[in-house]
Amino acid sequence: MAVPFQELCSSDGLPIYNLAAHREKRLYHDNKRVRINRFINVAQVRLIATDGTMIGVKPILEAQNMARGAGLDLVEIAPMANPPVCKIMDFSKYLYELDKQERENRKKQKAGVLKEIRFNPRIAKHDLETKIRHIETFLKEQNKVRVTVVFHGRENQHRNLGEEILMNVKNTLAAVGVVEGRSQMMGNRMSIMLSPISAVAPKQPAAAKPPSAAKPPTPKPPAPGA
């Protein structure tokens, strides 16, 4: 009795006999900068084991067979070397570590960006709360935030409203941000600078000096003729 085609397929819908070749091709195309397995078309390579041990120069077929026998991949890590340097490893795990490192690098690049949120002195309560939540998000992402109140026309006569808004922002976000310096007034703009709490290094209190031990009294020399 013929076996149904569905039973000859993997969960990816690919024939089982072709699954390994498809996986190899897919891994290669996920990152075209790195050649692996049969895509390394050189005569010989300098081979490194999974634990980092230098095996030495091997013919490419022997290196590929060693990787295949270990159930791993042969990955070209230094294509410009002579001969190219390859390592036996799990290429899927290698790609995962690369992606993880790239994500960490992107986070570090994004951190420390200066953001600015502007307010109108007659802003509604709901809009004020929404913008304060945005500022909180920026601070938690380790960004500095310039909070600015912009006055127009007769609003310049009520700058106390701007001071109240800035004080409200400062007090509401005291748990995640700290104000740098004093508020500034430039033209029709009043602003403060908020920095994330974790970016402000706490000052270590100076260690108290131990009390010095009292020196024993110096004995007096005996009187002459005593």
The gap between the terminal CA atoms of the chain, to the nearest Å, is: 130
Assess contact for 73 and 37: CB atoms under 8 A.
yes
Residue pLDDT tens, the chain, 226 long = 444 434 444 444 444 334 444 444 444 434 457 889 989 999 999 999 999 899 999 999 999 999 999 999 999 988 889 999 999 999 888 888 888 888 887 776 666 678 999 999 999 999 999 999 999 999 998 889 999 999 999 888 888 999 999 999 999 999 999 999 888 888 899 999 999 987 555 555 555 566 565 566 666 666 665 5
Assess contact for 56 and 47: CB atoms under 8 A.
yes
| DSSP structural state of residue 204 | P
Q: Which amino acid is at 134?
A: H
Indicate the SS3 state at residue 182: strand
Domains and their CATH numbers in the chain = 5-94 (3.10.20.80), 111-199 (3.30.110.10)
Assess contact for 138 and 145: CB atoms under 8 A.
yes
